[in-house]
Chain A
Amino acid sequence: MNNKINLTQIEKKAFLTYFEDGILDICVGLLFLIQGFLLDFGKAPFIYISWIPVILIYPIKKSITFPRMGFVQFRKTKKRKNQKTIMFLMMAGIVVFLALLLHVKILSKGNFIEKFGFIVLGIIISAPPFIGSVITGITRFTIYSLILLVVFIHENFTHSTVPIDFMIFGSIMLVIGIFFLFKFLKKYPNQKNEELSHEK
């Protein structure tokens, strides 16, 4: 037995089990993959289609995760605290970033955005998964964030095609997500609800 386990870690463990299913990875991976395909085939006006997998995250979780994992409601105070932390970090990040950008733009008197536009975009896009990973403790989102940043830095200097980068990144997320989903399905077989209610 790990003697160092405490209440915070138990709460964190309970929270993290909901992300063991890989559904978030699969849906976000599909988002990037579809966006990559649409951009590559010149179908940019249909880009909204790529958000369908993201909209489906909760319904999929409802049909796959909850019947296997059970249902939990976390304390509202903790939830509020988390939301406040997320908002604070995002706001602070955006303010600092904009201030930095303004400062650099003033210093360079001009074409900073033209030169480093993709890096700026990469920082903006990779920030949410990084902040999310810091707050929730899902370490693989830090890796996704770093991959995204590397992709955009690579894009900035090589001027390769963004759609291909999106497709590669989406595929990586999708494969990792599928791996987690299989592991989850194996670990938690489906349970019939009527067999599992606590009735005296």
Chain B
Amino acid sequence: MKNKTESNGFPKIDKIVHEPARLMIMTFLYVIDSSDFLFLMRQTGLTKGNLSSHMNKLEDAGYVDIEKKFIDKIPRTMLKLSKKGRKAFKDYRNTIIELFKDMPE
């Protein structure tokens, strides 16, 4: 990451990952290898339109790869977290951990 902190010294949070629905999508994609759109919709509980709009944002950021492949002779569009996406997810986690590390109970 080029700028790990804002100008005021506050850690820079990746807003693409930080949005709750996208964080949920990325979390699901992080723990699996790949899934189709329907599976992600079922797991996240998001509507088709909502999920599609968030997927577009993740795709534009280069965090999600879309692969068209044949599984059991059926063409499927599989969604997968890209290397950049995995790194962004890990960086986000580390930033949040770091931010709250010394928080008193």
Contacts and interface: CB of A to CB of B under 8 A. Distances in A.
Nearest to B37: A198
Given A70-B36, A70-B37, A14 B31 contact: yes
Contact of B39 (A7, A10, A13, A69): A69
Interface centre among B30, B39, B55 (most CB of A within 10 A): B39
Interface residues of A, number: 25
9 contacts: A10-B28, A14-B39, A69-B42, A70-B40, A70-B42, A71-B35, A71-B36, A71-B76, A198-B51
B41 interface: yes
Contacts of A3: none
A74 interface: yes
For chain B, give the interface size range: 20 to 34
Interface of B: 27-28, 30-43, 48, 51-52, 55-56, 59, 66, 71-72, 76-79
Given A17-B43, A188-B42, A196-B41, A72 B35 contact: yes
Given A62-B72, A196-B48, A200-B59, A73 B38 contact: no
B75 to A, nearest CB: 9
Contacts of B27: 7, 10
Interface centre among B37, B38, B43, B55 (most CB of A within 10 A): B38
